[in-house]
């Protein structure tokens, strides 16, 4: 640590929630800052319970971690309260006073838009909510009386924490290929920049204060909604390989494709990745399920990890071998 950005490498759903929940416990995070909006769901499996979090930071499983929702984030109030109740984090969660609010009308606008239908948005209304923020007509967290107990100056809190050498994790959402500016997939993108620099920016952290950027790769690639997916396989083939997934947030079927080394290299570079996490290794190499030591992986699995390191030039320091937060091979010093 102390200031780490977690960024998704592909089209989201790489397993960022799992990596963050592991780091929350292992590195005893002092702060975890959620960026983005309600369209992204982070899955955390802990003590036999599954959580799909759209608002509360994935580090909630460490009771000592201060949980913050960034100034650049966009808050769905009902979902926020639902998750605060579920995770019981009332005393240690804060929302930046200037975070914007997403309302019911935005979801209706999203669903009524032919353009958004063609893109296959999640339907939460994030695009219309951000449009309103850009128009300078959005409500902010400080405008809502019901949020008063949670409203904070998170930018000062985070930067004070960094001054004091605290462990701060900036939780990126979605994937780099969905970036409004950088992934090259416009118009099949989301309504914000999802890259590492933007994650820091949303949280109010300057680029020179970031120590580590962990890019999260999944062992195969998935995408929901429309837009190109190089190397896409059929649903039948995905089912056969065990790659078929249904979205945690929307229940939509995910499309899938094999791991793409060239894309991994390109995105590691643009995001300035210093480390990589690799999730779901056990899905492509079932014999690796639950392993917690690199030496215990099969030769084939080790070769796959080495190939990623060689081709991207980034060390694969964290490897997910099962859904539980602690099913991780940690190769950091």
Binding-site size for ligand IMP (CB under 6 A) equals: 19
One residue of 178, 199, 213, 229 binding ligand IMP per CB under 6 A: 178
Does the protein bind ligand IMP through residue 14 (CB under 6 A)? Answer: no
Which residue of the chain is nearest ligand IMP when measured via CB? Answer: 225
One residue of 120, 258, 272, 315 binding ligand IMP per CB under 6 A: 120
Nearer to ligand IMP, 221 or 264 (CB): 221
Tokens (6 digits) for 193: 């920049």
* Most distant CA pair in the chain, distance: 58
We find the least distance from the C-beta atom of residue 114 to ligand IMP, in angstroms, to be: 14
Chain residues that interact with Mg ion, rule: CB under 5 A: 13, 41
Whether the bond between 187 and the residue before it is cis, its omega within 30 degrees of 0, is yes
Active site residue 13: yes
Distance between CA atoms of residues 256 and 318, nearest Å: 23
User: Cβ(243)–Cβ(235) under 8 Å?
Assistant: no
* 308 Cβ contact partners less than 8 Å away, ≥ 6 residues apart: 217, 259, 261, 264, 276, 278, 314, 316
Active site residue 54: no
User: Cβ(124)–Cβ(110) under 8 Å?
Assistant: yes
**x/- track of binding to ligand IMP for residues 184-203 (CB under 6 A):** ----x-xx------------
We find the least distance from the C-beta atom of residue 127 to ligand IMP, in angstroms, to be: 4
Does the protein bind ligand IMP through residue 219 (CB under 6 A)? Answer: no
Distance set, CA 76 to CA 36, 68, 170, 268, 297 (Å): 11, 14, 19, 31, 42
One residue of 121, 279, 317, 321 binding ligand IMP per CB under 6 A: 121
> Helices 261-270 and 299-312, interaxial angle, to 10°?
50
- Known catalytic residues? 13, 42
Query: Which residues in this chain contact ligand IMP in the complex, by CB under 6 A?
Result: 11-13, 39-40, 119-122, 124, 126-127, 174, 178, 188, 190-191, 224-225
């Amino acid at each position: 640590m102390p200031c780490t950005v977690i960024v998704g490498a592909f089209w989201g759903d790489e397993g960022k929630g799992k990596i963050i929940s592991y780091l929350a416990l292992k590195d005893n995070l002092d702060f975890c800052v959620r960026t983005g909006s309600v369209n992204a769901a982070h899955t955390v499996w802990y003590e036999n319970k599954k959580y799909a979090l759209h608002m509360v930071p994935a580090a909630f499983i460490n009771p000592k971690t201060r949980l913050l929702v960034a100034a650049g984030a966009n808050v769905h109030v009902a979902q926020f309260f639902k998750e605060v109740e579920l995770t019981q984090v009332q005393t240690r969660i804060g929302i930046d006073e200037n975070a914007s609010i997403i309302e019911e009308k935005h979801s209706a606008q999203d669903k009524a838009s032919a353009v958004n239908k063609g893109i296959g948005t999640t339907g939460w209304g994030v695009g219309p909510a951000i449009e309103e923020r850009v128009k300078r007509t959005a409500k902010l967290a400080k405008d809502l009386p019901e949020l008063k107990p949670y409203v904070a100056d998170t930018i000062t809190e985070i930067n004070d924490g960094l001054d004091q050498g605290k462990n701060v994790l900036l939780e990126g959402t979605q994937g780099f290929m969905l970036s409004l500016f950088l992934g090259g997939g416009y118009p099949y993108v989301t309504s914000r920049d999802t890259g590492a620099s933007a994650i820091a920016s949303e949280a109010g952290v300057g680029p020179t204060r970031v120590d580590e950027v962990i890019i999260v790769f999944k062992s195969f690639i998935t995408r929901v909604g429309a837009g190109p997916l190089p190397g896409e396989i059929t649903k039948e083939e995905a089912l056969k390989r065990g790659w078929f997934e249904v979205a945690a947030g929307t229940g939509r079927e995910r499309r899938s494709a094999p791991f793409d080394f060239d894309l991994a290299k390109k995105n590691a570079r643009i995001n300035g990745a210093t480390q990589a996490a690799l999730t779901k290794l056990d899905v492509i190499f079932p014999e690796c399920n639950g392993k917690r030591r690199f030496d215990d992986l099969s030769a084939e699995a080790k070769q796959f990890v080495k190939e990623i390191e060689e081709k991207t030039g980034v060390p694969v320091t964290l490897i997910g071998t099962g859904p539980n937060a602690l099913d991780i091979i940690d190769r950091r010093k």
